[in-house]
Amino acid sequence: MMLASAVRNLSRRSFSTSKAAAAQQLTVRDALNAALDEEMERDEKVFLLGEEVAQYDGAYKVSRGLWKKYGDKRVIDTPITEMGFAGIAVGAAMAGLRPVCEFMTFNFSMQAIDQVINSAAKTFYMSAGTVNVPIVFRGPNGAAAGVGAQHSQCFGAWYSHCPGLKVVSPYDSEDAKGLLKAAIRDPDPVVVLENEMVYGVSYPVSDQVLDKNFVLPIGKAKIMRPGKHITIVAHSKSVETAMLAAGELAGKGIEAEVINLRSLRPLDTETIFKSVQKTHHLVTVEQGWPQSGIGSEICARIMEHETFFHLDAPVWRVTGVDVPMPYAKTLEAAALPQVPDVVTAVNKVLGVK
């Protein structure tokens, strides 16, 4: 009798499983690994190079198993010289290969910025369209945890400032896989700004995302949560902050529309404009510094477009604090946008006390 009751309860539970629980889970690390594997399998011109990417399986294990599968010629360990191996990668791209150049952190890309900007970004223009440079620069960007000022900087504004580059900033596993595959297939240089803090985080993905042909368009944002009272625009890990803030605001009757930019250059202003014309309010969220940041650019685009006349209040930027990243844990938290900061910004824009 008790057994029959238990079976009935169990079967009832199994049929009440939510869609979220039923969805397959995929970490950002595995999504990036799958993207690299699928594109290397698809096109023998694709190869990976960087520090510890081969025998060690990558500093963050993103390239796990690729060296064993593809060998020394297509997964290449380099010396610790970003200027050197970035230059080798750019030259290989000019010669017709499709290199994926990994920086252990984008802070170290400063060592190679002459290659990224002057060699990769400008060559197609300077050659009058005769020389493509199909290269991907990828690696972790922005704040990690406890690694100080030298390893915690966001380069979204730096690289999206430069014509000749495309810049993507994935948040979850769907973004990571779809955008990296698109970057590898693109005929021009693409900077892929990942975030170390989400590498090990699992996100629900559909069968479509797991398909080998899944690719996301560069330059198209995603509405993560629909809303009618205010628009919150974010990229990378700040999308998580925006989503948590939106959840908290919903409990107070404020429905925020959250936009995940995905791409910083080109910027999907059309999606932002449409949303703001509906909600009449805007808050931007980013971990980077305030001056000349992504939020600043969005503010300028709004000002230069008829969407400005749809605003019922000034745009509010929530950014990292205008200081080099502190090492102390408490100060580090204070230097980055937190959920209460976004909630406060929304309340001020909407005039809620």
Catalytic sites, residue numbers: 82, 151
β-strands 263-265, 166-168 pairing: antiparallel
Name which of 255, 218, 251 is nearest 346 in CA terms.
255
Name which of 314, 251, 322, 316 is nearest 290 in CA terms.
322
Chain center to CA of 167: 9
User: Could you give the count of Cα atoms lying within 13 Å of 277 in the half-sphere of its Cβ?
Assistant: 9
Element (H, E) at 113: helix 113-113
- What is the Cα–Cα distance from 38 to 32, expressed in whole angstroms? 10
Q: Following DSSP, what letter does each residue of 76-137 receive, concatenated?
A: EE--S-HHHHHHHHHHHHHTT-EEEEE-SSGGGGGGGHIIIIIIIIHHHHHTTT------EE
Chain center to CA of 184: 15
**Sequence-distant (≥ 6) Cβ neighbours of residue 314 within 8 angstroms:** 349
3 state DSSP class of 25: strand
